[in-house]
Amino acid sequence: MIPLAHLSDDVLVDYAAGTLPQATALLVATHLALCPDCREEVRLLEEVGGAMLAERVPEAPADHLLADCLALLDRPVTVQEQPARYCADGVYPRPLLDVLPADGLTWHKRAKGLAEIRLDTGPGPVAKLLKISAGQPMPRHTHSGREFTLVLDGSFSDDYGVYRRGDVAVATEGEIHQPIAGAERDCICLAVVEGSLSLTGPIGRVLNLFVRF
Amino acid sequence: MTAPVVRPDAALEPLVASIAAGDRDAFQQLFRALAPKVRGYLLRLGADAGAADEVTQETMLTIWRKAASYDPALASVSTWVFTIARNRRIDRLRRARRPEFDPNDPALQPDPVEGADVAHEAAETGQLLRAAIQELPKEQLRLLELAFFHDKSHRAIADETKLPLGTVKSRIRLALVRLRDRLKDETR
């Protein structure tokens, strides 16, 4: 199934240029694993990057740099690449699997029908796996930066439509929304919030204490 | 394709093939052709001379180690080197690997099978793009360059150029639409 809800040009440009924060880059890379259309787009954007590299004014390095490189060519590589690990049930594509604990997932319950796993993506925006119980609405919330939600399993819907595996919902700054998980099964998503997230509504305000991104 | 496309970048492809076979002379030639460009890219991104030298060296060593995996059907040499330099730079800044999809991942949604008429040499695409980029209106070119050669997201560019974020996005989008149209015209 090819995703219907894609990432916009500006996000793909920033990914190709290498200027996205680590958490957002992780979400983009995971979407790319699931979306041949956006992969093709990034390939084109990388050609733009390559073309601009070719047009760059050369800044010759000091003479010794070539000699240094030549001396290092035969040095055996000390850091061995980790052998690739793949997800048995195919839910988590590789770039995401690489930051998941190898010894199994421990979901932390955050609210009724909502559990999460915080991922280690260093400083900057936070990436989380969310598991929303089948048919369960997420707490109504808003955020100070962009929020990206990529569906990995199951589905959810919001005011704009239904999102399935590979689809990304992007909520802009200040937008209030309330996704609802599809009734067929639990919905697992990768969510990245570039600013802070706050819940709205009377129950939400109380939950804010617990669900801070 | 109506007219034969001149591909200066294509001259680099045999060098990469020789490097894959362990040819040190070929490596020196590629180094002379591309290391100054890579270094220019890194300096433009704000690296100091020392860091630019280090990442340039890491980029060139990665080329040596990975030359066998270079596929001219997927990317022109400049593009391949651009992605290596970009990734080495990020790895160094973040002390973490840049997240990328893995073409061998069984969870990957495979590409739709392309017809022979759509299949297009990546190096030619690169050359066409280079020509098309030169023909972009100056303002769009400036924004694309800012996006690629400064460590700036769209938002940061908006702040710097004092243009509203929406304007930055729409101008960059316009530039990309133009490039895409140009490619379609040429490959029809």
pLDDT of res. B150: 66
For the stretch A86-109, pLDDT in tens is 888 889 999 999 999 888 899 999
> How does residue A78 score in pLDDT terms, banded at 50, 70 and 90?
low
The answer to whether residue A186 sits within a structural domain is yes
Of B74, B86, B112, the CB nearest to A18: B86
- pLDDT surpasses 50 at B118: no
B71 touches chain A (CB under 8 A): no
- pLDDT surpasses 90 at B56: yes
The answer to whether residue A22 sits within a structural domain is yes
Task: Mention every residue, 6+ apart, whose C-beta is less than 8 A from residue B187.
Answer: B1, B118, B120, B125, B128
The answer to whether residue A46 sits within a structural domain is yes
pLDDT of res. B181: 83
Highest average pLDDT, of A50-54, A149-153, B76-80, comes from: A149-153
- Nearest-CA distance from B158 to chain A in Å? 12
Interface probe with A: pick from B24, B64, B78, most Cβ of A within 10 Å: B78
The answer to whether residue A160 sits within a structural domain is yes
Alpha-carbon span A17 to A8, nearest angstrom: 14
User: What are A106's two structure tokens?
Assistant: 């421990």
The answer to whether residue A12 sits within a structural domain is yes
- In chain A, the percentage of residues whose pLDDT exceeds 90 is 47
The answer to whether residue A14 sits within a structural domain is yes
- Chain A residues in contact with B176 by the CB 8 A cut-off are 9, 13, 45
- Nearest-CA distance from A153 to chain B in Å? 12
Domain CATH code at residue A62: 2.60.120.10
Question: Domains along chain B?
Answer: 8-99 (1.10.1740.10), 123-188 (1.10.10.10)
The answer to whether residue A19 sits within a structural domain is yes
Alpha-carbon span A17 to A23, nearest angstrom: 15
Cβ–Cβ of A56/B40 closer than 8 Å? yes
For the stretch B2-34, pLDDT in tens is 444 445 577 899 999 999 999 999 999 999 999
Domain housing A40 = 1-77+92-213
Query: Closest-CA residue in chain A for B26?
Result: A70
Contacts 24+ apart (CB under 8 A), A81-90: A84/B102, A84/B104, A84/B105, A86/B105, A86/B106, A86/B107, A87/B107, A90/B106, A90/B107
Domain total in chain A: 1
Cβ–Cβ of B79/A50 closer than 8 Å? yes
Query: Closest-CA residue in chain B for A45?
Result: B176
List the 120-149 stretch of B: residues with Cβ below 8 A of A. Answer: 122, 125-126, 129-130, 133-134, 144-145, 147-149
Among B83, B176, B41, which residue's Cα sits nearest to residue A11?
B176
The answer to whether residue A83 sits within a structural domain is no
Alpha-carbon span B179 to B164, nearest angstrom: 23
- Nearest-CA distance from A13 to chain B in Å? 7
